[in-house]
Structure 1
Amino acid sequence: MKMLVVGHMHSNPQNREVFQMLMEEHEVKITYPKKWIGEFEERYFDENGFKKIKFPFTKNGYIPFLKEKDEYDLLWIDEEPYLPQTYFILKNVRYKKSILRGAQNILKRDFFRNILYDFVKKRVDLFVGVGEGSKDVLEKIFEKESKIVPLHVPDEFFLNEDKNFSKERLTLGFAGRLEESKGVFLLIEILKNFKYDFKIKIAGKGKCEKNLIEFLKSSKIEFQFLGYVDHEKMKDFYRDVDIFLNLSKDTPLWKEQQGRTIIEAMASKCVVISTKSFDIEKNYKGSAIIVDYDKDEIIKNLNALFENREKLYEISELGNRKAKKFSRFEILKIVSGIIKEYVKPFIG
Structure 2
Amino acid sequence: MKNILVISKQAEEYVNREVYHILASWGYLVKVCVPVQQKFLTDVVICNDSSISVERVKVFGGHPRLQFIPNLLETLNEKNYDFVIIDNDIASIVVTQVGLIKSRKTKLIVCTFENFYRNYINEALKALLNLKISIAIALLGIALIERFNSFLVNLIFVFSSESKDVNHRKFRKIDIQQIPLGISSILFHESSYDQQQNFRLKYNASNKVIVAYFGRLIREKGLDDLYELIKNHPRKDDFVLMIDDYFESNNGYVKHIKKNFTELLGENFKLIRANHNEIAYYIRNVDIIVCPSHQNSKYKEQYGRVIVEAKLSKTRVVCSDSGAFPETHGDVNFIFKAGNMPDFRRAFDYAVNASQTAIDRLHIDALNRQTSGVQAHLLASLL
- TM-score range normalised by the length of the shorter chain: 0.7 to 0.9
Paired position in structure 1 for 2:292: 247
Paired position in structure 1 for 2:234: 195
Give 1:288-303 correspondences, 5 Å limit: 289-293=334-338, 294-303=340-349
Q: Aligned partner of 2:60: which letter?
A: I
Give me the whole-angstrom Cα distance separating, in 1, the residues matched to 2:297 and 2:11. Answer: 21
How far off its partner does 1:218 sit? 1.1
One of 160, 170, 184 as aligned partner of 2:209 = 170
The answer to whether the aligner puts 1:332 opposite 2:341 as a matched pair is no
Give me the whole-angstrom Cα distance separating, in 2, the residues matched to 1:120 and 1:4. Answer: 18
Q: Deviations over 1:249-292 (max 9, x none)?
A: 12323321221011111111111111011222233232760111
Give me the whole-angstrom Cα distance separating, in 2, the residues matched to 1:60 and 1:119. Answer: 14
Paired position in structure 2 for 1:29: 31
Give 1:119-198 correspondences, 5 Å limit: 119-143=148-172, 144-154=174-184, 155-159=186-190, 168-196=207-235, 197-198=238-239
Paired position in structure 2 for 1:113: 142
The answer to whether the aligner puts 1:96 opposite 2:106 as a matched pair is yes
Paired position in structure 2 for 1:85: 94
Give me the whole-angstrom Cα distance separating, in 2, the residues matched to 1:7 and 1:224. Answer: 33
How far off its partner does 1:321 sit? 1.0
The answer to whether the aligner puts 1:322 opposite 2:365 as a matched pair is yes
**Kept after mapping to 2: 8 A contact 1:31/1:48:** yes
Relative distance call for 1:276 and 1:192 in structure 2 (3 A) is: same
Paired position in structure 1 for 2:55: 48
How far off its partner does 1:89 sit? 3.2
Relative distance call for 1:216 and 1:277 in structure 2 (3 A) is: same
Q: Deviations over 1:108-139 (max 9, x none)?
A: 23221221112211111111101112222222
Relative distance call for 1:61 and 1:84 in structure 2 (3 A) is: closer
One of 262, 268, 271 as aligned partner of 1:217 = 262
The answer to whether the aligner puts 1:18 opposite 2:27 as a matched pair is no
Give me the whole-angstrom Cα distance separating, in 1, the residues matched to 2:82 and 2:66. Answer: 32
**Kept after mapping to 2: 8 A contact 1:117/1:142:** no
How far off its partner does 1:180 sit? 1.3
The answer to whether the aligner puts 1:262 opposite 2:307 as a matched pair is yes
How far off its partner does 1:199 sit? 0.6
Relative distance call for 1:48 and 1:338 in structure 2 (3 A) is: same
For structure 2, the residue ranges without an aligned partner over 5 or more in a row are: 44-53, 121-139, 201-205
Q: Deviations over 1:9-68 (max 9, x none)?
A: 687553221112212312221111139xxxxxx94469837333346xx36995444222
**Kept after mapping to 2: 8 A contact 1:274/1:288:** no
Paired position in structure 2 for 1:344: none
- Give the structure-1-normalised TM-score: 0.83
How far off its partner does 1:92 sit? 5.0
Identity among equivalent positions (%) equals 21
Query: Tell me, what secondary structure is at the counterpart of 1:122?
Result: coil
Give the stretch that moved more between structures: 263-272 or 314-323. 314-323
One of 229, 251, 276 as aligned partner of 1:231 = 276
Give me the whole-angstrom Cα distance separating, in 2, the residues matched to 1:321 and 1:182. Answer: 27
Relative distance call for 1:134 and 1:43 in structure 2 (3 A) is: farther
Query: Tell me, what secondary structure is at the counterpart of 1:333?
Result: helix
Larger radius of gyration: 2
CA RMSD between the two structures: 3.0
For structure 1, the residue ranges without an aligned partner over 5 or more in a row are: 36-41, 340-348
How far off its partner does 1:160 sit? 6.4
**Kept after mapping to 1: 8 A contact 2:320/2:336:** yes
Q: Deviations over 1:170-203 (max 9, x none)?
A: 1101011111111121112112112211111111
Give me the whole-angstrom Cα distance separating, in 1, the residues matched to 2:240 and 2:20. Answer: 39
Query: Tell me, what secondary structure is at the counterpart of 1:32?
Result: strand
Q: Aligned partner of 1:199: which letter?
A: V
Give me the whole-angstrom Cα distance separating, in 2, the residues matched to 1:54 and 1:9. Answer: 17
Which structure shows the bigger proportion of residues in helix conformation?
Answer: 2
Q: Aligned partner of 2:345: which letter?
A: I
- Give the structure-2-normalised TM-score: 0.76
Relative distance call for 1:3 and 1:176 in structure 2 (3 A) is: same
Relative distance call for 1:212 and 1:82 in structure 2 (3 A) is: farther
Give me the whole-angstrom Cα distance separating, in 2, the residues matched to 1:177 and 1:146. Answer: 29
